[in-house]
Amino acid sequence: MSIYANDWDNCFPRAGSLTSKWGTTANWQADNRSNAFGLKSDGTGGSATISSSLYLLVKYAEVLPKSFICQSGDLRAKKFNPAKYGVRDKEFEDLWDFGPEPAKHCSYSYHMCYGPYPLSTASSDPGQAVAVDRNPWLDPYTDTTGFKWNDQTKTGGRENIKGYQKGNSGLHKREGQNVLFLDNHVYFENQSFCGVKNDNIYTYWNGSDIRQG
């Protein structure tokens, strides 16, 4: 991640254009960036998945797709193999995303880069969370039934502990998640509100309690 930022004016990976929205990748096997993300003729607009931004590390930083699988906790994600999707004439670096079903080939969540405040090593807080084990709210295999953000009791019996742990990633038995911070350190956090000023790393802040999103 740091190598990429050093090569790209301190900016972290961000697929598409500066005005692309979070959505789907138009054509993950396209021959050029415009077709891959559905950009306009002037190079603006389009949409991209979060995983396509991570895939830029495959294209430009020599990271292998297998590096995006959590070997210790994610038993469902499989190493990306383009041949399984009928693509046999291109190398990994020729593509733009982890196939048509990227969630099956990437275990990690990445900060929301499609917005007014993308991460930069030059201007962002070193305590900012950059990447983390998969978001439980976007993971079809993770049960968040009954979880309430205003019930974060971490004391008492086993059920209380299991309750607040529902805000954690589904990997690692809901005990916490590995978080990569901007200053390059990785820490296993046992709660999801571990960002700057206790920001919840899995949710979008609505202006109220930053721990809830």
Same domain, 103 and 7: yes
Q: Is residue 205 domain-resident?
A: no
Same domain, 7 and 98: yes
Same domain, 135 and 186: yes
Q: Is residue 159 domain-resident?
A: yes
Same domain, 75 and 154: no
Cα gap 164→59, rounded to integer Å? 38
In Å, the largest CA–CA distance within the chain is 59
What local confidence, expressed as pLDDT, does residue 154 receive?
Answer: 55
Q: Is residue 71 domain-resident?
A: yes
Number of structural domains in the chain: 2
What local confidence, expressed as pLDDT, does residue 49 receive?
Answer: 97
Same domain, 12 and 97: yes
Opening angle at CA 83, ends 74 and 101, nearest 5: 45
In a 13 Å sphere around the CA of 73, the CA atoms on its Cβ side amount to 20
What local confidence, expressed as pLDDT, does residue 151 receive?
Answer: 57
Q: Are 195 and 129 in contact (CB under 8 A)?
A: yes
Cα gap 41→203, rounded to integer Å? 33
What local confidence, expressed as pLDDT, does residue 116 receive?
Answer: 80
Same domain, 137 and 191: yes
Q: Is residue 47 domain-resident?
A: yes
Cα gap 121→38, rounded to integer Å? 28
Same domain, 133 and 77: no
Cα gap 170→144, rounded to integer Å? 9
Q: Is residue 206 domain-resident?
A: no
**What does the pLDDT profile of the chain (213 residues) look like in tens digits?**
888 988 999 899 999 999 999 999 999 999 999 999 999 999 999 999 999 999 999 999 999 999 999 877 667 889 999 999 999 999 999 999 999 999 999 999 999 999 887 888 887 788 889 999 999 888 877 887 777 665 555 555 566 666 778 889 988 888 899 999 999 999 999 888 888 888 889 887 766 665 555
Cα gap 64→58, rounded to integer Å? 6
Region at 182 (left for phi over 0; alpha for psi -120 to 50; beta for the rest): alpha
What local confidence, expressed as pLDDT, does residue 43 receive?
Answer: 95
The predicted model scores a pTM of 0.88
User: Could you say which of 47, 72, 107 is where a domain stops?
Assistant: 107
The parent domain of residue 137 ranges over 129-198
Pairing of strands 21-22, 47-48: parallel
Q: Is residue 124 domain-resident?
A: no
What's the token pair of residue 36? 């891959």
3-class DSSP string for 27-79: CCCCCCHHHHHCCCCCCCCCEECHHHHHHHHHHHCCCCHHHHCCCCCCCCCCC
Cα gap 182→120, rounded to integer Å? 9
What local confidence, expressed as pLDDT, does residue 95 receive?
Answer: 98
Q: Is residue 209 domain-resident?
A: no
Same domain, 6 and 70: yes
Same domain, 6 and 68: yes
Q: Is residue 212 domain-resident?
A: no
